[in-house]
Structure formats: structure tokens, C-alpha cells
Amino acid sequence: MLPRIDKKVVVVTTQAEVQDDDLDFWLSQPVEARLAAGEVLRRMSYPNGTTPRLQRVLEITTGPRH
């Protein structure tokens, strides 16, 4: 189940402060928590599983030999 986002909270800050705070937070988390968060982000981005992949095409041609 995906977490709910509270859209009522507004915080005004700089991008540098956010990046520093985010980095400090994630570095303090155990590996399992980081992987779980990555999985949540993946499920939010791709709710129906994976994205369609490009088809691999191989074409063999013959040409003049030098």
C-alpha cells in the first residue's frame, strides 16, 4: 500500500537546505529502509508493474568488401 501525501502542509525553504536534510536523513537510515523507500517510489511511478521495453531488432546485411 502506498503512503498518503498530506497536501495541506506547506514549507518554504531553499533547495540546498532540502538536499542537505534529505541526505542526512537517508544516510541515517538502515539499508533495508532505503531499499523499501526505493520500492515505494518505483510502485508510485509504475503502478501497473514495469514499463514496456523496446523491442530488440537484429538485421544482418551484406555489403561490399574492401
pLDDT recorded at residue 46: 80
Per-residue model confidence as pLDDT tens digits over 8-47: 888 888 988 889 889 999 999 999 999 999 998 888 888 7
Closest CA to 3 of 37, 26, 32: 37
Concatenated DSSP letters of 6-53: -TT------HHHHHHHHHHHHHHS-HHHHHHHHHHHHHHH-TTSSPPP
Tell me the pLDDT tens digit for each residue of 33-44: 999 999 988 888
pLDDT of residue 53: 75
CB 2 within 8 A of CB 40: yes
